[in-house]
Amino acid sequence: MQKGSLLFLLHPNFLMAHASPILLLFLLLSLQVIAQENETNIIKPGSSLYPRKHPSSWASSSGHFEFGFYPQGSGFSVGIWLVGQPENTIVWTANRGDPPVSSNATLVFTGQGGLLLQTENGKENLIVDVRESVDSASMLDTGNFVFFQNRSVVWESFDSPTDTILGGQNLSTNYNLTSSVSRSNHSTGQYYLIMQGDGNLVAYVRSAAVDTRDAYWATNTYGSSLSRLYLNERGRLLLYAYPEERGLANSSQIGDKTVITYRATLDPDGVFRIYSHQFESNISSNGTKEWQNLNDLCDVKGNCGLNSYCSSRNNDVECYCYPGFTFINENRKFLGCSQNFTLDGCEARKDLVMHYNFTTLENMDWVGSGYSLMNMNEEDCKKACEEDCYCGGALYSRSSGSCTRYSLPLIYGKRRGDISTTAFIKLILGSTPTIPPPQSPTLIDEGNQRLISTMGLSLGSVSCLCFVIAISSFLIYRHRMQSYRKLLENKNSGFTEQFTLRSFSFSELDKATDGFKDELGRGSFGVVYKGILPGDKDSKTVAVKKLEKVKEGEREFRTEMAVIGRTNHRNLVRLLGFCVEGSRKLLVYEYLSNGSLANFLFNTSESPNWKERARIALDVAKGILYLHEECEVCIIHCNIKPQNILLDDSMTAKISDFGLAKLLRPNQTSISGIIGTAGHLAPEWQRNASLSVKADVYSFGVILLEIICCRSSIDVEVSNADEILLSTWVYNCFAAGELNQLVGGEEVDLRMLERFVKVGLWCIQDDPTLRPLVKNVTLMLEGKMDVPVPPFPSLSHVTY
């Protein structure tokens, strides 16, 4: 029986089906949706469509929707449209990246696979690939084009939306709407709106690197990995981010759903709008706007290029260059601006004295790459930017007195009356040569290098370090300038920025922590201190971690920080910034007021209640799920334990210290020495085997059992020797059917308790392959997936 359950878990089909929640959802939907065929409207294999000959489309039974060829540019594309007078509204396009085809093309519905597009020169392209045999297709009255096999739906256009969802359609987790190029060109455009795995619906400007700075609108909802956006038949837009359900918008049109259809479209300008279409009237075939997510087009990023800013008037955007910059192309202002003077290495040019001037622009804001935030007065802010050769401009907030310096290019600038920050733009007036340097200019490269290295040695380690820092800053700067140039050539390419975090100086952190006085705790990576940063409105309490034993060089360190900085999840402690000055490396995290999970579970006199504990366990699982599967680079934590799970003031659990294991690991063998938290480490650490995400699953399993029982994994102060090891005790209680012993008689939901215990026991299996993936762990904890009966966790009965 147990073996059978195991085989089920390991069966490739099982793993495949659960490898992606979308696939799962898709399967469920396919099974649930029963054929809504209308016999009069069935398309049989062998039917064809032609751009200029009859039939050129297949209509739905009401005649409101059609599927077929529609004109695009000088050719035709295949898609679905809402029939209108005088114009149709395209709501879906097949293979939108492909160029339009000529009027000689033919679309054939084949029983084997889907829709085959044949073009004049004999080319064939399967544009809708159903991947199985189908016996009919239909254009439904909802605007959904579906394929049937034996009366059940095997493919539907609702499952692969382009820029629109129609009334009755979902946008499921990890699906996105991508805008069209323009109202007449339905190729992939500049913006996308994605239903993220963390429950947040976010609009981004498309760029090479997914960066939170490219986001311009979000619902800021957080929920399970099975969230969805839904437009109902009455034009109401709903977001289900389990357990939260939020109405985002209502439509005012009321009427019979057979005469009104709603659609929600991410328009070519990046704004997400709901439209209603009334079939019985000719008021507006383009639809009546019911709602939009943004009122100012300048809030949509990317309308104006680099070094330019956006200002809107009456629904029209205008791009302006910052003073001292000129348009790259006067006729295509959205491409951005450039300065005809290059800094050309800045500090490296010792032979030149640069002359600057500043212009002040009120009500300005931009995103850019801010690298220094300090409190000072206005004059000092300008001065700081002038003396800093990497500074291209600064944003100053008069209310808080904070000055942020930015390097070029300045991106996503906007100017609007209600913006309270003021911008100082640095203007390069020119340069004059300095008095010739003392060394003879005849000394060339090799000699110079020798000279520099001798000087470096004699000046001691401090200046040597400064030199290294200067060189690396220069390299970073060069890298930026290069990506900037690349960008100028192609507006659609992305910003390959390295930093999204704030970089602090050591003295700033020294001051913030009052000389590293208030110690919050000691971890495997160093000591953590409480600090207070002066902020915009009120000061912010932070936790500053002084890293020890970090062997990594500055460059690698910054790369690692960039990876950590891109993580953003409700159940992860947010990294706010860092400081790297020579060998000193510090991290600045958000401060969480309720201490660690270890404290919460083991050190309080009255044990926390079951409901709260269960919620915390799920929080931790979601944090790990994000690290393993949902962030850009998969992060194996390697050191999850109750001491580095922190609780915020609403008792939400957040994982800390992730992404650091990599910095500390000179080789794998010594890590257990460094970390040394027996109990939570997967057995493969001791076996020196290679590590996978399953190591974190093991740690999670131990923590889950600790959360259930409110005791540590190893406890010698127990009445019975069998209870010393938590895992053995839990298994014995489970096998004996005495689960209530584990919670000390507390009133709990017994079915939930049993589920949690079983999941915990699966996670702590000695054999990593037996442990479930954390995605399945969350599904099982939430009760959305059955949990088989676990075997005894250890291969050989453990003896420590």
Ligand X SMILES: *[C@@H]1O[C@H](CO)[C@@H](O)[C@H](O)[C@H]1NC(C)=O
Give binding residues for ATP as ranges. 546
Q: Cβ of 398: how many Cβ atoms within 10 Å?
A: 12
Q: Which of 55, 73, 676, 744 binds ligand X (CB under 6 A)?
A: 73
What residues numbered 236-265 form the site for ligand X, per CB under 6 A?
247, 249-250
Cα angle 209, 215, 221 (rounded to 5 degrees) comes to: 120
Cα 288 from Cα 253, distance rounded (Å): 9
Sole binder of ligand X in the list 212, 258, 282, 454 (CB under 6 A):
282
Exposed (0-12), middle (13-18) or buried (19+): which is 98, by Cβ within 10 Å?
middle
Residue 340 near ligand X by CB under 6 A: yes
Beta partners for 361? 423
Contact in structure between 390 and 346 (CB atoms under 8 Å):
yes
Which helix (H) or strand (E) segment is 674 a member of? helix 671-675
Of 44, 123, 131, 183, the one binding ligand X (CB under 6 A) is: 183
Q: Of 187-195, 508-516, 625-633, 678-686, which part binds ligand X (CB under 6 A)?
A: 187-195
Q: Which stretch, 98-106, 410-418, 742-750, 754-762, contacts ligand X (CB under 6 A)?
A: 98-106
**Order of strands across the sheet that contains 308-313:** 316-321, 308-313, 413-415, 364-365
CB of 117 to ligand X, least distance (A): 14
Binding of residue 173 to ligand X (CB under 6 A): no
**Does the protein bind ligand X through residue 35 (CB under 6 A)?**
no
Which positions ≥6 away from 314 have C-beta within 8 Å? Answer: none
For residue 553 the two structure tokens come to 């060089």
Measured over the CA atoms of residue 169, residue 171, residue 175 and residue 176, the dihedral's sign is: positive
C-beta of 280: minimal distance to ligand X in Å?
6
What residues form the annotated binding site? 546
Instruction: State the nearest-atom distance from the C-beta of 622 to ligand X, in Å.
Output: 20
Q: Which of 40, 295, 314, 799 binds ligand X (CB under 6 A)?
A: 40
CB 742 within 8 A of CB 709: yes
| CA pair distance 269, 451, nearest whole angstrom | 57
Q: Is 95 in the site for ligand X (CB under 6 A)?
A: no
Q: Figure out which of the listed residues 27, 31, 181, 443 binds ligand X, where binding follows CB under 6 A.
A: 181
Q: Which is nearer to ligand X, 85 or 461 (CB)?
A: 85
- Segment interacting with ligand X (CB under 6 A) among 182-190, 389-397, 612-620, 662-670: 182-190
Q: Which of 11, 35, 48, 341 binds ligand X (CB under 6 A)?
A: 341
- Coil, strand or helix at 693: helix
DSSP 725: B
Q: Does 669 help bind ligand X (rule: CB under 6 A)?
A: no
150 is a site residue for ligand X (CB under 6 A) = yes
In the DSSP assignment, the letter for residue 626 is: I
Decide the pairing of beta strands 584-590 and 645-647.
Answer: unpaired
Cβ 172 to ligand X shortest distance, Å:
7
Span interacting with ligand X, options 8-16, 166-174, 558-566, 749-757, rule CB under 6 A:
166-174
Q: Of the two residues 68 and 701, which places its CB atom closer to ligand X in the complex?
A: 68
Write down the least CB distance from residue 224 to ligand X, Å. Answer: 12
Q: Say what the alpha-carbon torsion angle 187, 190, 191, 196 is, to the nearest 10 degrees.
A: 80
Does 588 contact ligand X by CB under 6 A? Answer: no
Q: Does position 461 bind ligand X by CB under 6 A? A: no
Query: How many chain residues are in contact with ligand X, going by CB under 6 A?
Result: 43
Residue linked to tokens 């690290």: 627
Backbone angles phi, psi at 319, to 5 degrees: -100, 140
Across 555-713, the runs of DSSP E, i.e. the strands, are 575-581, 584-590, 645-647, 653-655
- 69, 158, 412, 731: residue in contact with ligand X (rule CB under 6 A): 158
Task: Give Cα separations from 193 to 164, 681, 748 (angstroms).
Answer: 11, 40, 41
Pairing mode, if any, of strands 169-172 and 164-166? Answer: unpaired
Distance of CA 552 to the CA centre of its chain: 26
10 Å Cβ neighbour count for 736? 9
Nearest distance from residue 247's CB to ligand X, in Å?
Answer: 4
Write out the binding residues for ligand X, residues 117-136 only, by CB under 6 A.
120
Residues 6+ away with beta carbon under 8 Å from 137: 42, 43, 58, 109, 145, 146, 147, 148
Q: Which residue among 357, 463, 668, 686 contacts ligand X (CB under 6 A)?
A: 357
Point out the residue whose Cβ comes nearest to ligand X. Answer: 73
Report residue 518 as tokens: 């208030």
Residue 102 contacts ligand X per CB under 6 A: yes
Choose which of 93, 170, 407, 643 interacts with ligand X (CB under 6 A). Answer: 170
> Considering the rule CB under 6 A, would residue 278 count as an interface residue with ligand X?
no
Q: Which is nearer to ligand X, 176 or 699 (CB)?
A: 176
Q: How far is the CB of 541 from ligand X (least distance, A)?
A: 35
Binding site for ligand X (CB under 6 A): 29, 38, 40-41, 61, 72-73, 85, 87, 100, 102-104, 120, 150, 158, 160, 168-170, 176, 178, 181, 183, 185, 187, 192, 194, 228, 230, 247, 249-250, 281-282, 284-286, 340-341, 357, 359, 429
